Homo-oligomer: A and B are copies of this chain.
Amino acid sequence: MDISKHLNSEELNTKDKQPLYLQIALLIADKIQKQILPSGTKLPPERELADLFAVSRTTAINAYRKLEQQGLVWTKVGSGTYVAQARDAESLFEVPWPQLFTAYPQNPLASILRDIVSTPAPGTISLAPGMPDPALYPMETFTELFNHNIGRTPPSDFGYIPIEGYNPLRRAIAAMLSEKGISASTENIITLSGSQQGLYLLSKVLLEPGDYVVMEASTFIGAIQVFQSAGARILSLPCSEKLSLELLEDYLIRYRPKLLYMIPTYQNPTGRVMPAHERQNLIKLAKHHRLVIVEDDPYSDLYYGEQPPQALKALDSYGGVVYLGTFSKILFPGLRTGYLAGPPVLINRLALEKQLIDLHSNNIAQWLMAMFLNEGKLAGHLTTVRREYKKRRDTMAKALRRLCANDIEFNVPEGGFYFWCKLKQSGTSQQLLQEAVKNRISFVPGEAFHTVPTLDNEFRLCFTTHNEAVLLESVQRLAKTFAQLTKKNRANDAPPSSVWPII
On A, residues with C-beta under 8 Å from B are 74-78, 84, 93-98, 100-102, 104, 110, 129, 131-132, 134-135, 137, 139, 143, 146-147, 150, 154-163, 193-194, 196-197, 200, 204-208, 222, 225-226, 229, 258, 287-288, 290, 292, 317-320, 332-336, 343-346, 348-349, 351-352, 355-365, 368
* Known contacts A95-B290, A362-B193; A158 and B102 CB within 8 A of each other: no
Partner of A158, one of B95, B139, B196, B359: B139
The answer on a CB contact under 8 Å between A358 and B343 is no
Partner of A336, one of B98, B200, B258, B360: B360
The answer on a CB contact under 8 Å between A348 and B74 is yes
The answer on a CB contact under 8 Å between B159 and A333 is yes
The answer on a CB contact under 8 Å between B155 and A139 is yes
Output the least CB separation between A414 and chain B (Å).
Answer: 25
Alpha-carbon distance A156/B84, docked complex (angstroms): 33
Q: Return the chain B residue nearest A163 by Cβ.
A: B77
Partner of A102, one of B197, B206, B288, B290: B206
The answer on a CB contact under 8 Å between A94 and B348 is no
The answer on a CB contact under 8 Å between B147 and A143 is yes
Q: Return the chain B residue nearest A95 by Cβ.
A: B320
The answer on a CB contact under 8 Å between A359 and B336 is yes
Q: Return the chain B residue nearest A347 by Cβ.
A: B76
Alpha-carbon distance A156/B129, docked complex (angstroms): 13
Alpha-carbon distance A102/B350, docked complex (angstroms): 11
Closest 9 CB pairs of A and B: A334-B363, A158-B334, A134-B155, A95-B320, A362-B362, A193-B358, A134-B156, A336-B362, A137-B155
* Known contacts A349-B104, A358-B196; A94 and B158 CB within 8 A of each other: no
The answer on a CB contact under 8 Å between B205 and A101 is yes
The answer on a CB contact under 8 Å between B206 and A333 is no
Q: Which residues of B contact A161 (CB under 8 A)?
A: 334
Q: Which residues of B contact A155 (CB under 8 A)?
A: 134-135, 137, 139, 332
Most-contacted residue by chain B among A129, A352, A357 (CB, 10 A): A357
* Known contacts A344-B76, A363-B334; A100 and B158 CB within 8 A of each other: no
Alpha-carbon distance A365/B358, docked complex (angstroms): 14
Residue pairs across A and B with Cβ atoms less than 8 A apart, 21 shown, are A77-B352, A93-B317, A94-B290, A97-B343, A100-B206, A102-B208, A137-B155, A139-B150, A146-B146, A147-B147, A155-B332, A159-B334, A196-B359, A197-B357, A200-B356, A200-B357, A225-B356, A333-B363, A334-B362, A334-B363, A336-B363
Q: Which residues of B contact A287 (CB under 8 A)?
A: 93
Alpha-carbon distance A268/B184, docked complex (angstroms): 40
Q: Which residues of B contact A77 (CB under 8 A)?
A: 163, 348, 351-352
* Known contacts A75-B348, A320-B95; A206 and B146 CB within 8 A of each other: no
Q: Which residues of B contact A197 (CB under 8 A)?
A: 357-358
Alpha-carbon distance A359/B361, docked complex (angstroms): 13
* Known contacts A134-B154, A137-B155, A163-B77; A361 and B343 CB within 8 A of each other: no
Output the least CB separation between A250 and chain B (Å).
Answer: 20
Given A134-B155, A143-B150, 18 additional A-B pairs, CB 8 A: A74-B344, A74-B345, A93-B290, A93-B318, A95-B319, A95-B320, A97-B319, A97-B343, A97-B349, A100-B258, A102-B208, A134-B158, A146-B146, A193-B336, A193-B361, A196-B359, A200-B357, A335-B362
The answer on a CB contact under 8 Å between A196 and B357 is yes
Output the least CB separation between A272 and chain B (Å).
Answer: 24
The answer on a CB contact under 8 Å between B359 and A194 is yes
Alpha-carbon distance A19/B364, docked complex (angstroms): 50
Alpha-carbon distance A356/B229, docked complex (angstroms): 9
Partner of A134, one of B146, B159, B356: B159
Q: Which residues of B contact A318 (CB under 8 A)?
A: 93-95
Partner of A207, one of B102, B150, B200, B355: B102
Output the least CB separation between A311 and chain B (Å).
Answer: 17
